[in-house]
Structure 1
Amino acid sequence: MRSMLSEKEDGNRTAVVLILPLASFLVLFFFLDMSDFVRVASSLGPATLLAVVLVSAMRPVVGGIRSRIAFKPVASLTLLDATKGYVLSAYGSIFLPSAIGGDVLRIEHMKNSTGTTRKESFLVAATERVLGLLSLVFLTICVLFFDVPFTMSWYWFITAVVGGFVLFLGSKFLLDSSDDGSMLNRTLTYVRSYASMNLLLPVFILSVLFQVISLSVPVLVAYSLAGLNAAIIIALVTPAIALFSALPISIGGIGLREASYVGTGALFNIDESVCLLSGLALSMSIILSGVPGVFIQSELLSHENYKETNSKNKI
């Protein structure tokens, strides 16, 4: 009887592996506006298109290296599994609000790959996200020190520093006034045992590298379409746009990102179509990074079904 049930479960897993990718591709074509792909592809030369595809392929690998290092204090995560996790994150962010939504799949994948708890995988993913956000802030601040062809107000920067300082003091007061056994203090103790400067510094450096590689796409497109001056301006404003579009107020930043680039064109007298295509190319690059997730999600679901079957058999 158990053998028959096992064969049935194996058949179900096989069906998931075969049918789910096909269904996901159909959903992708229904969900995405394929005219955006056509518009970008028809506007760019073969060399630029190849560069965009290469960057799309590099993103998960560089992210995987960062994830592997970030996971070291907890467990051993192979580069292949870490890269798959980033592909799943990009895939999930196509459908879920912001990249944070995509990390739900990545956390589950890391948990399954390492045999750790969901809490530990979440801690690693959250650390990467925080350092990724700080790397965008770092790149945005670096822009202020360039001899840019436009003026940039320091008011927002001073406001951010003051706001951050007030937030730090408020958090410190909250921690000092809470009990030693409170969930907040226990969480902080757990994070301190995981995070050290020897871990955070290389992860931050890799986060900066990850952002530079990812954000090179709109620069390449602007250079291809409008020359060096347009590419320089796009390069200077892209970190700020990426920081703004990282907020969980749109589907993967798509829409908000393109609108920000079009606004850039109006402000700095660049052809709006060039700015729009630069933003679209960045969005398409992120989507391309996530397309292999169509197949990896089957592996994720098969693993969950396998665990469920084993638990039933033990009962």
Structure 2
Amino acid sequence: MMKRSMLARHLIRFIGIGLFIYILTTIDFTAMVNASLSVTPITILGIAFLIIPTMVLKGARWQIISEGLGLRLKTTEATEALSIAQLANLATPGSLGDFIRVPYMTARGNPTDKSTLSIFIDAIISIVVPYSLGGLALLVLLEVDITILGLFGALLWFAGFILLYYFIKKTIWTWFFKARIDRLLSSGFRGSFLFTLPSVIKSVGKRNLLLSLGYSAVAWLTYTLQATVLAWSFGINVNWIFINVALALSTMATAIPISIQGLGIREGVFLFLFGLINIDPAIIVAFSLSLMLVNITPISLGLVSWARDPFDLTPEERPNESIGELR
């Protein structure tokens, strides 16, 4: 019999699905279908075409990070792995399917720990641009005055966070948490993983980090332009700043692993934001679903890649792998 904790873990994935079903019951379903059909196939194909450079840019970002860690990975392979990960994300909550990239890397002779680290660093780099731009755009949208005093206060909070980080690292972490996590983890990771991550990121190299940030910025720009054109196709008269805010906030919300492909969560965010400018809820949901469907088109490449060259999803751990080697 399935344990309650395991059952709860499975059920939590469907919170977003339940929210999506509820949203569908509150809107005019016929109006949503009509809004979707009002967008011409040529427009959809043109918007979907922008997925290609976006995926290649994301692949290049991960490849340059992997290169800095001494891993063997080509840009074409990185793009292929990202497509397979997107396929896996259809069956996993949040973006947990991204970790399928680990066995993809190990199947090509790369160590497990460094491969996993490359995914963590790639995830960090991928959120820097959207979260930063989204935050700034949100300040502009809400007409928040940016004053010297406000900036000084933000710097104080940041400095306090850094001090707290080092305090925990030198005290509580050393004598309480580290030993326990060292015993629990058997994948070659050390208990100090969280605190060695900054030094590992440095080992990637400034040039590689700057290049990966550049790739991430252009990929985000392509994505936001794609969404803006799609919004206009639905008759939603908004500018790029508004779309940027909507996408940034939805990206943050859908990162929480309580839904599949962000279904329900993304619609909830969009309904709130677009509702502020009096857009019909049926059109908002139609736009959200179209954006999701357009952006999961790379799963076709993932299917082809998996069918052509399936790899072991549970590779054997190598006992001599250690993050400590990267310090």
Alignment TM-score, normalising by the size of structure 1: 0.71
Quote the offset at 1:211 in angstroms.
2.1
In structure 2, what is the Cα distance between the partners aligned to 1:207 and 1:89? 18
Q: Deviations over 1:79-107 (max 9, x none)?
A: 211111110121111111112x1212122
Instruction: Please name the residue that 1:102 is paired with.
Output: 97
In structure 1, what is the Cα distance between the partners aligned to 2:145 and 2:268? 21
Per mean C-alpha deviation after superposition, the further-off stretch among 173-182 and 87-96 is 173-182
2:312 counterpart (289, 304, 310) = 304
| 1:83 and 2:79 are equivalent in the alignment | yes
Instruction: Please name the residue that 2:170 is paired with.
Output: 176
> Any stretches of 5+ residues in structure 1 without a counterpart?
1-32, 309-315
Instruction: Please name the residue that 2:304 is paired with.
Output: 295
- Counterpart AA for 2:125: L
1:246 counterpart (251, 255, 258) = 255
Q: Secondary structure at the match of 1:254?
A: coil
Q: Tell me if structure 2 keeps the 8 A contact 1:111–1:121.
A: yes
In structure 2, what is the Cα distance between the partners aligned to 1:293 and 1:38? 28
Distance 1:226 1:153, change over 3 A: farther
- Counterpart AA for 2:74: T
Question: 1:1-315 alignment to 2 at 5 Å?
Answer: 42-73=37-68, 74-99=70-95, 101-113=96-108, 115-144=109-138, 146=140, 148=141, 151=143, 165-177=159-171, 178=174, 183-184=191-192, 187-188=196-197, 191=200, 194-226=203-235, 228-229=237-238, 233-299=242-308, 301=310, 303-304=311-312
Q: Secondary structure at the match of 2:263?
A: coil
Quote the offset at 1:187 in angstroms.
3.7
Q: Deviations over 1:9-34 (max 9, x none)?
A: xxxxxxxxxxxxxxxxxxxxxxxx9x
Quote the offset at 1:299 in angstroms.
4.5
Q: Tell me if structure 1 keeps the 8 A contact 2:36–2:286.
A: no
Identity of aligned residues (%): 20
What is the count of residue pairs matched by the alignment? 268
Q: Tell me if structure 1 keeps the 8 A contact 2:35–2:234.
A: no
Q: Tell me if structure 2 keeps the 8 A contact 1:222–1:274.
A: no
Q: Secondary structure at the match of 1:282?
A: helix
Instruction: Please name the residue that 1:29 is paired with.
Output: none
Quote the offset at 1:164 in angstroms.
5.4
- Counterpart AA for 1:127: I
Distance 1:273 1:166, change over 3 A: farther
Q: Deviations over 1:136-194 (max 9, x none)?
A: 21111231464x4x54698xx99987765544322211223338997417844861562
Q: Secondary structure at the match of 1:229?
A: coil
- Counterpart AA for 2:123: R
Alignment TM-score, normalising by the size of structure 2: 0.69
In structure 1, what is the Cα distance between the partners aligned to 2:110 and 2:101? 13
In structure 1, what is the Cα distance between the partners aligned to 2:154 and 2:308? 43
- Counterpart AA for 1:42: L
In structure 1, what is the Cα distance between the partners aligned to 2:43 and 2:252? 25
Q: Secondary structure at the match of 1:67?
A: helix
In structure 2, what is the Cα distance between the partners aligned to 1:217 and 1:271? 21
Quote the offset at 1:257 in angstroms.
0.5
Quote the offset at 1:243 in angstroms.
2.3
Q: Deviations over 1:230-289 (max 9, x none)?
A: 666334432222222223232222210012112222212122233222211221123212
Instruction: Please name the residue that 2:3 is paired with.
Output: none
In structure 2, what is the Cα distance between the partners aligned to 1:160 and 1:38? 45
- Counterpart AA for 1:92: A
CA RMSD, 1 decimal: 3.6
Q: Tell me if structure 2 keeps the 8 A contact 1:218–1:281.
A: no
Q: Deviations over 1:205-234 (max 9, x none)?
A: 211222222333332221112154366633
- Asked which structure has the greater RCO (Cα within 8 Å, sep 6+), the reply is 2
Structure with the bigger percentage of helix: 1
Q: Tell me if structure 2 keeps the 8 A contact 1:264–1:275.
A: no
Distance 1:292 1:151, change over 3 A: same
